[in-house]
Chains A and B, each alone.
Chain A
Amino acid sequence: MKFSCRLLSILWVSRDYLIGRQKPNQMLNSEEIMKYVCFGYQNEKKWEQMSENERNALFDACFAYDEELRAKGHFLSGEAIEGASAAVSIRIKNGKASVTDGPFIETKEQLGGVGIIEAKDLNEAIALWSKHPAMVFDETGFEIRPVVDMTPLREASKQRRKAAGKS
């Protein structure tokens, strides 16, 4: 859970940062590999209603497919996260961290897990993930988003901090 929070905050910050910034020409058919985060949304009620056998069968199918993806070099990592009842939201109010109970938005569908995969483009990411057994769990489905490559920003920041430290 800690992991996915960090992940979300990174994505959020980077997206804001990139707005208005001219990106270099990126090839439509570049050979570079892209990372995609697959956010799994699920209806928690449905999960609660499943029998242990049903849950085990789903776990087995999911882990087997994860391993298959990993063997092919597509699977980077994946985490299931605790339900909305375990969620804590933090906001900064008047310069202080204000902590509240529950997720940011209370809906029937909640984020249940994330998978991070590598694919050459969106079509490959869709093709790979649409075969994931977690997809059949319920029709809520997954949201796929490309990971923003922060390396150049991190490098530039490192340089700035180094320069600031020297002066």
Chain B
Amino acid sequence: MPMRKEESTQPIYEQVDAIYRSESRLVFATLIRLLGDFDLAQEAVQTAFAAALEQWPREGVPANPRAWLVSTGRFKAIDALRRRARLNSSIMESMGRLEASPTPIETDQPEIEDDRLRLIFTCCHPALPPDAQVALTLREVCGLTTEEIARAFLTSAPTIAQRIVRAKAKIRDTRIPYEVPARAELPNRLDVVLRVVYLVFNEGYTTSYGTTLMRHDLSSEAIRLARLFLELLPDPEAEGLLALMLLHESRRSARTTPDGEMILLEDQDRSLWNRELIAEGIKLVRHAFASRRLGPYTVQAAISALHAEAPSSAATDWSEIVGLYDLLLRIDPSPVVELNRAVAIAMRDGPAAGLSEIEGLLATGELDNYPLAHSAKAELCRRAGQINEAKASFEKALALTSQEQQRRFLEKRLAEIK
């Protein structure tokens, strides 16, 4: 294999392939703006690359391939519409508008970046159902195929295809605009985008069924998406979310035994934690924390960062963690956060203190069907020497859990105390 390989001597199809990987989503986003239609834009991207494969070997790769692809795609789309127009007069009107629009050969970076942001906000529009937001974002922003999304969510390709088709119909019929929301709407719209990213991440991270390889892909896709979003729209909570995901991701290989059994945070081999991801996560969370607008992702990331920095469970700054849970409860109150706070209190002040918190929480009835509430209580009872109570709570948790990995873990725990 030759050591010096200039780009110009690379076979043309390899260059086109590389350009496809780096540019096709950008070309797509801009063509949606110019053509005003998802499907038309998708078709135009394919046509433009087909034309590139035909013309570039003869004429060479243009100086600005992206601009060439956008302009070729737009031209071919108008051409195709014109041919179809003979059949339908209403297309004529659309065409008139299209041709009247200014020539699209913007190589302007800000404009193109805006197109990607427009695409994200359109796919994550709150008027679309959450599962459609996720599917559409993975399909149109990340460029995953319908089959890939279906595999990742353990559902059939027709189900995902239908979700995407319905979402696109809703975008068209209710006229969801292709735009970055106005400043006044931005905080709410941002929440939806971040929630979609986090949903994608969690789908890849927390579930134990399916092939781990496929689900792993979803987590890295979410991280990639968060990086892209942060690049386009700097925001402390987006930073906090990216930090949170990186810090979770850093523990991936320590979370399970080689044969897939769950390992609790305190029993994990911390030398397996990915230091690079931790360093990046901590840097991001420090920066986000310095901003005045503290959101739930940032606070959760800060908690995760404290764990990441601690050499062991015992040496963890539990007081600080309890304080952060107090903060989180003020920003985003939920019984699950209270449960986590109770566990942190147990780590700081001993199992009895944590138990009284959990018992108070369970008395409200809100966490009756939440298996982790019962397993947390069981664990604290075990540590406090209340073996019978521990057994009863482990059994309750076991009856409630539907996750195979969690079930095996609880069964093992139960066997240990018997």
When the two chains form the complex, which single residue of B94, B177, B182 contacts A122, counting CB atoms closer than 8 Å? B177
Q: Is B32 an interface residue (CB 8 A)?
A: yes
Name B90's closest neighbour in chain A (CB-CB). A24
Q: Are A28 and B88 in contact (CB under 8 A)?
A: no
A115 to B59 CA separation, bound complex (whole angstroms): 59
Report A113-125 CB contacts with B as 1/0, cut-off 8 Å.
Answer: 0000000111110
Q: Are B94 and A25 in contact (CB under 8 A)?
A: yes
Q: Is B175 an interface residue (CB 8 A)?
A: yes
Q: Are A146 and B173 in contact (CB under 8 A)?
A: yes
Q: Are A28 and B90 in contact (CB under 8 A)?
A: no
Q: Are A25 and B91 in contact (CB under 8 A)?
A: yes
Name B173's closest neighbour in chain A (CB-CB). A146
Q: Is A86 an interface residue (CB 8 A)?
A: no
Q: Are A27 and B173 in contact (CB under 8 A)?
A: no
- Secondary structure at the B interface, as helix, strand, loop or mixed, is loop
Minimum C-beta distance from A151 to chain B (A): 11
A28 to B125 CA separation, bound complex (whole angstroms): 14
Minimum C-beta distance from B95 to chain A (A): 9
Report A9-28 CB contacts with B as 1/0, cut-off 8 Å.
Answer: 00000000000000111111
State how many residues of chain B have any CB contact under 8 Å with chain A. Answer: 27
When the two chains form the complex, which single residue of A24, A122, A152 contacts B174, counting CB atoms closer than 8 Å? A122
Q: Are A24 and B97 in contact (CB under 8 A)?
A: no
Q: Are B177 and A29 in contact (CB under 8 A)?
A: yes
Report B176-191 CB contacts with A as 1/0, cut-off 8 Å.
Answer: 1111011011000000
Report B73-97 CB contacts with A as 1/0, cut-off 8 Å.
Answer: 0000000010000001011001001
In the complex, which residues 165-206 of chain B have their Cβ closer than 8 Å to any Cβ of chain A?
171-179, 181-182, 184-185
Report B35-64 CB contacts with A as 1/0, cut-off 8 Å.
Answer: 011001000000000000000000000000
Contacts A25-B91, A29-B33, A152-B90 known; list 11 others, CB within 8 Å: A24-B90, A25-B40, A25-B81, A27-B37, A28-B36, A28-B37, A28-B122, A34-B175, A120-B177, A122-B176, A127-B184
What are 23 A-to-B residue pairs whose CB atoms are below 8 Å? A23-B172, A24-B90, A24-B91, A24-B94, A25-B40, A26-B94, A27-B37, A28-B32, A28-B175, A28-B177, A29-B177, A30-B36, A30-B97, A31-B97, A121-B176, A122-B175, A122-B176, A123-B177, A123-B179, A123-B181, A123-B185, A124-B177, A146-B175
Give A contacts to B, CB under 8 Å: 23-31, 34, 120-124, 126-127, 144-146, 152
- 6 smallest A-B Cβ distances: which pairs? A27-B36, A121-B177, A24-B90, A28-B36, A28-B178, A121-B175
Give B contacts to A, CB under 8 Å: 32-33, 36-37, 40, 81, 88, 90-91, 94, 97, 122, 125, 127, 171-179, 181-182, 184-185
